[in-house]
A and B are shown apart, each in its own frame.
Chain A
């Protein structure tokens, strides 16, 4: 099946610093990737949709200057949390669509990145 990796799996950073999270589709080309955030005991919240070669589409309420998304290739999307603050501490999960896979619109999830800002 389609595999999506994320790196790092966890990161601790100081307030005010920036953190970059990578999301890779390992065995398929993903024209569309998604970035989610999940706070404890809550469901997934879509932050943005990342399309290869174009600007990401951000959901309402998500600051695009704070959460920078780059989808430079068909297998890699990055999320950079700029000037991180403790309230940005969360579980960040990426997913990707495999157009050639079992289901046209099924999303394959990465293992997630737990960010803690101190």
Chain B
């Protein structure tokens, strides 16, 4: 079956760095997305990786290793507004998005 694993919850301190990991086992791979979702709101797009390596976008970076079935989202200079759930999703061979359960990130002052 298809499976995406990410930690349920993480806690970090304002101004620090946090890395959210995602491992996946899917039937085929056509890219991996990271979305941010604040409580009670819809997800918003953060990043898309289809090739191995690190993609940097401001305070957020996303890394992909296809051979390891692994990705991480790196958040730097954490701000209180970064408190949210972070969803990892993989586009499988049928171009269907397979969603992880999400990681709830709690930022403490």
| Interface bin, chain A | 10 to 19
Does chain B have a CB within 8 A of A60? Answer: no
Does chain A have a CB within 8 A of B60? Answer: no
In the assembled complex, the CB of A115 is this many whole angstroms from the nearest CB of chain B, namely: 13
Q: A105-B95, A106-B33 are in contact. Are A111 and B100 (CB under 8 A)?
A: no
Annotate B83-109 by CB proximity to A: 1 below 8 A, 0 otherwise.
000010001000111011110000000
What residues of B have a CB within 8 angstroms of the CB of A112 in the complex?
40-42
What residues of A have a CB within 8 angstroms of the CB of B45 in the complex?
106, 108
Does chain A have a CB within 8 A of B3? Answer: no
Q: A103-B48, A105-B31 are in contact. Are A111 and B42 (CB under 8 A)?
A: yes
For residues 20 through 42 of chain B, which have their beta carbon under 8 Å from a beta carbon of chain A?
30-31, 33, 35, 40-42
In the assembled complex, the CB of A57 is this many whole angstroms from the nearest CB of chain B, namely: 10
Q: Which of B30, B44, B99, B102 contacts A105 (CB 8 A)?
A: B30
Besides A42-B101, A46-B99, A106-B45, 10 more A-B contacts (Cβ < 8 Å) are A46-B97, A95-B42, A103-B48, A105-B30, A105-B31, A105-B91, A105-B95, A109-B35, A109-B43, A111-B42
Q: Give me the interface of A with B, judged by CB distance under 8 Å.
A: 34, 42-44, 46, 49, 91, 93, 95, 103, 105-112, 114
